[in-house]
A and B are shown apart, each in its own frame.
Chain A
Amino acid sequence: MSFTIPIGPYHPSLEEPFKLEVTCQGEVVQDAIMHVKFNFRGVEWLAQRRNYSQAIVLAERICGICSNLHTLTFCRAVEQLAGLSVPTRAEYIRVIIAELERLTSHALWAGIAAEIIGFQTMFMTCFSVRERLMDVLEIISGNRVHYAMNCIGGVNREISNPDAVLDIVKWTRQQIENKLIPIFTTDRTIRARCIGIGVLTKEEAIKWGVVGPTARASGISVDIRRSDPYAAYDQLEFKVPVETSGDVFSRVVVRLLEMVESCRMIEQAFKQMPPGPIRGPEFVEVPPGETVARSEAPRGEAFYYVASDGSDVPLRVKIRTPSLVNMPVVRLMVLGANLADVPLINASIDPCYSCTSR
């Protein structure tokens, strides 16, 4: 006899507004339907009723984890429309903030994954790393969540204390290399919970257009920082970690290796960053036209389409977040899985319901 179990909305296994209706035969999952409507805010509608400066503030509030990425991508789209070039120093600062954000996001994800696995000590370890990273962002921007760093034509603030930032980045890298990677990859419980669980094959990942670490864990080397570089990424040397097993463990490994790369990129950016201005003109006219911009968020490619009619209010803003394309494949990952593994499989794509519902 099969039965349906509603996981969510607001379920203790992942405290976010989603609902997964899981149909089981005994303990084995036969089907799953994802519902994501619970946090819908109509951000695109709102953005078409705000001027460009107000739309930046709005875009920042799409997500509480990758807030910087949204403003970065929106500003890049408007800069393209306006034909603005961004000062080189600002491009490096954008990379530093984006990589710090990736580190906080991946540390948060690793902590939550550890908690779902039942490894509370590891959860605390990951969050202690994340806490220091949030301190860095606070040192730079004065804020721990919404950094308000990006503006049209550059960034709002200098990084006035680079040594303090580099010290914490160095400490973070040591924590990742000496604690997180060894424990996550060798602990027997973690391996038992993650290896061979929630597999997404490369063929399925291509078919469903999956992005970010979820795609890279299934053998697809897709990373916008490499394939369509923006900011100062084309000036930096970095690896794009790719795993081929497509299981939860591969997603763990890809994110941990990406954290090391993020630290390397921040260190390089500080070394290479030239002196100079950090933003362009105060007031920018946006001529009529349309454009697209995309950036590599912690969860994968984020995409913005912006159209202008020459006024100070965008004619159309379309936002596609990475979770929107990654979430449908959870159904494929949980088919045939044990019910007890469903929360971890779902969390393994690092879903952001706030981004998805916008």
Chain B
Amino acid sequence: MDKGEELLAQLSPGKSWEKRSDGWWLETRDMDVEKMAHLMTEAQARLVTITACEVSKGEFRIIYHWDLEGRMLNMVTMTDKGNISSIATIYPASDWMEREIHDYFAVQFNGRESLPLFLNPEDSPGIFLGYSQDDQKEEKGKER
């Protein structure tokens, strides 16, 4: 077991991860993201970015993309009613990434104040909302 696999095993005991050509992928619905951030920071991994996908109304898939010695570790989890813990105090580089997601999807990162990054203070967050992946599939199905 190498360093990346050891980290994944610690983070999600008993669960399997997938090794693909673009890196490792681990999907856990209720991932402890703060524990993940601590583990990855201690392992000197670099957070490349965080991706949010609106799966259905109010449900978001959150992917933390880490670089560990040149390999990608993609850790996937879900929000709980649009909420997820912030890792900005553990890994400062996530500050702008979380603020960007808050602007786009109004995902609430608990434990921090999400100041707008691209929006004006008076604008409401969630400018990309209302076109979830379920909506997209339905729309494309009608076109066909």
Minimum distance in angstroms from A37 CB to a CB of chain B: 5
Name B95-138 residues within 8 Å CB distance of A. 95-97, 100, 104, 116-120, 127-128, 131, 133, 136-137
* In contact, A324 and B22 (Cβ under 8 angstroms): no
B residues less than 8 Å from A40 (CB atoms): 118-119
Distance in Å from the Cβ of B93 to the closest Cβ of chain A? Answer: 4
Given contacts A44-B128, A48-B131, A309-B133, contact A209 B46 (CB under 8 A): yes
Per-position binary interface string of chain B over residues 22-48, scored 1 when its CB falls under 8 Å from any chain A CB and 0 otherwise:
110000000000000000000010111
Instruction: Tell me the minimal C-beta distance from A209 to chain B in angstroms.
Output: 4
Q: Is the CB of A48 within 8 A of B120?
A: no
- B95 touches which of A222, A305, A328 (Cβ 8 Å): A328
Across-interface contacts of A206 in B (CB, < 8 A): 44, 46
- Residue total for A at the interface (Cβ-Cβ under 8 A): 36
Q: Give the docked Cα–Cα distance between A228 and B137 (Å).
A: 33
- Closest B residue to A316 by beta carbon equals B53
Whether A13 sits at the interface, judged by CB under 8 Å, is no
**Interface membership of chain A positions 37-56, coded 1 if the CB is closer than 8 angstroms to chain B and 0 otherwise:** 10010101100100000000
In chain B, positions 1-58 with a C-beta closer than 8 Å to chain A are 20-23, 44, 46-49, 51, 53
Chain A residue at minimum C-beta to C-beta distance from B49? A320
The number of residue pairs between A and B whose CB atoms lie closer than 8 Å in the complex comes to: 91
Name A309's contact: one of B47, B91, B137 (CB within 8 Å): B137
A66 within 8 A of B: no
The answer to whether A208 touches B92 (Cβ under 8 A) is yes
- Interface residues of B, CB < 8 Å — how many? 39
Shortest CB distance A115–B (Å): 28
Cβ of A156 under 8 Å from chain B: no
Residues on the B chain within 8 Å of A328, using CB: 92-93, 95-96
A293–B22 CB distance below 8 A: yes
Contact A48 B136 (CB under 8 A): yes
Question: Is B86 in contact with chain A by the CB < 8 A criterion?
Answer: no
A80 interface contact, C-beta 8 A:
yes
B residues adjacent to A (C-beta < 8 A): 20-23, 44, 46-49, 51, 53, 63, 65, 67, 69-72, 74, 91-93, 95-97, 100, 104, 116-120, 127-128, 131, 133, 136-137, 140
**20 other contacts beyond A206-B46, A318-B49, with CB at 8 A cut-off?**
A37-B119, A48-B136, A208-B93, A209-B46, A209-B91, A222-B46, A227-B67, A292-B22, A292-B74, A303-B48, A307-B53, A309-B133, A311-B140, A316-B133, A320-B49, A324-B49, A324-B96, A328-B92, A328-B93, A328-B95
